[in-house]
A and B are shown apart, each in its own frame.
Chain A
Amino acid sequence: MNLFTNTVGRKILMAVTGLLLIAFITVHLIGNLTVFAGPDSINAYAKALHDLGPLVWLFRLGMLALFAVHITFGIQLYMENKAATPDPYAIEKTLVTSFSAKTMLYTGLIILAFLLYHLLHFTVQVTNPAISAVNLPLDAASRPDVYSMMVLSFQKVFISLIYIVAMVALLLHLAHGISSWVQTLGWSTGPSQDKVISIGKVLAIVYGLAYIAIPLLILARIVK
């Protein structure tokens, strides 16, 4: 079994983990968008997640494994590709590839850095303790007030900016990633290629803008 060393094998592992990560960001986005439905919705959603108990930890372990595989092979393939490529041509010309395809490792690393910050901010709640749900009064239904934590956080320009920059990186990562996995898993047929690439870019923009809307609308005081 050479899945872990073969050039295609490792690409397939990246595609499968990338796909599962997309499934995660889809569910996570839908959950987060409940903030626009008001405090009651998102606080109820947050409580429901917490009440899963040990399942939460099972889920976290799974996510850790996904990220570990995706990032390890991402960096490994990148290093090999660097090693295979000598000095550039005097005139560098690419015809069809995109900025997002060329920057996959960098946008990925920005997402990773953001992920660590994001966990410290909203999960461990140590970066801004004063406005963290653990230190805020419970809401009317005695649930942790996640809504107020989000609103108070994103009213700060610095925090909003971190989130917005990271979500632009996610948008770029997905702009290549979504169509790339279709090819990697061998689902492309010649004629469908261009359509798949376009759909991938449109979906990436939808994900990106939807995620950016949360800090942006709060920062603009449209959601209070």
Chain B
Amino acid sequence: MDLTLHVWRQKGPEDTGKLETYKAKNVSPDQSFLEMLDELNDDLIKTGQDPIAFDHDCREGICGMCSQVINGRPHGQQELTTVCQLHMREFADGDEIFIEPWRARAFPILRDLIVDRTALDVIMQAGGYTSCHTGGVADGNTLLISKPVADYAMDAAACIGCGACVAACPNSSAMLFASAKVAQLAVLPQGKPEARRRVLAMTEANLSEGFGNCTNHYECEAACPKGISVKFIAKLNREYLKSMIPSAME
């Protein structure tokens, strides 16, 4: 199939950038979206043009590097799917496709579709350490974690840190990301002791890194390729409220 692509081109952080139009010819429906861009880039290189810069790494939906807004939707129209796992069979011959980078003040555009997501790492670092025993192997079943708690923590831990939630949020808030970390660690024995400090530090970092405030639009949950639920944001709010109560009363 043949497609018309409108791709955001920007030489560097200071450049203003604009959408440019390209034709992608003979696209196979079995290609992934990134493979389609790889072939387009081959053509661009052969004709002496600048290839389109985009982020990617694992190409199997687990690393969180790929980050493109396709027709207004972070990671494209297919639910629970990263760009690298999106296939061209989701599109039809003759389609026009708009491809843009994540847009948020906290994610400066480095080049074309590549943004700097260091701000998410800063939120992670603000979360700090978890206490775990080191040394010899612990006896089996010394740390009991019930199945529902383990499942809950696993659901939160599924976050791959891609930043689609921020890209989708009308306020550019990173609350879904932060809440996944806060919720996961607040329910486990490895993490509970630092829960109060963590929720305060991570929510503070959300603002100091230039993300917006959550106003419960829930666009993040709809965009998240890993199905992280906004129930974790409610959990983060609860953890924050708990951190206000003096420890003796907990």
Contacts and interface: CB of A to CB of B under 8 A. Distances in A.
A212 B28 CA distance: 58
Nearest to B17: A87
B217 A96 contact: yes
* Residue with the highest number of chain A CB atoms closer than 10 Å, among B212, B213, B236, B237: B213
A81 B105 contact: no
A97 B212 contact: no
A207 B176 CA distance: 32
B122 interface: no
Interface string B167-188: 0001111010000000000000
B70 to A, nearest CB: 9
B11 interface: no
Nearest to A188: B234
A72 B219 CA distance: 25
Interface residues of B, number: 48
Interface in B88-130: 98, 100, 103-106
Interface in A1-42: 1-3, 6-12
Interface stretch (B37-45, B48-56, B135-143, B199-207): B199-207
Interface string A81-110: 101111111111111110001101000000
A183 B234 contact: yes
B104 A97 contact: no
A75 to B, nearest CB: 12
A86 B69 CA distance: 14
B146 interface: no
Contacts of A102: 170, 217
A57 interface: no
Contacts of A80: 207, 212-213
Contact of B218 (A90, A97, A186): A97
Contact of A185 (B19, B172, B241): B241
B73 interface: yes
A128 interface: no
A: interface residue count bin: 35 or more
Contact of B216 (A2, A7, A89, A180): A180
A188 B212 contact: no
A98 to B, nearest CB: 8
Given A84-B171, A90-B6, A91-B72, A3 B244 contact: yes
B216 to A, nearest CB: 5
A84 B211 contact: yes
Contacts of B211: 84
Interface in A172-212: 176, 179-180, 183-190, 193
Contacts of B23: none
Nearest to B222: A95
B72 A84 contact: no
22 contacts: A2-B204, A6-B207, A7-B173, A7-B206, A10-B213, A83-B212, A84-B106, A84-B171, A84-B172, A84-B173, A84-B210, A86-B103, A86-B172, A89-B72, A93-B73, A95-B223, A96-B221, A97-B219, A102-B217, A187-B234, A189-B231, A189-B234
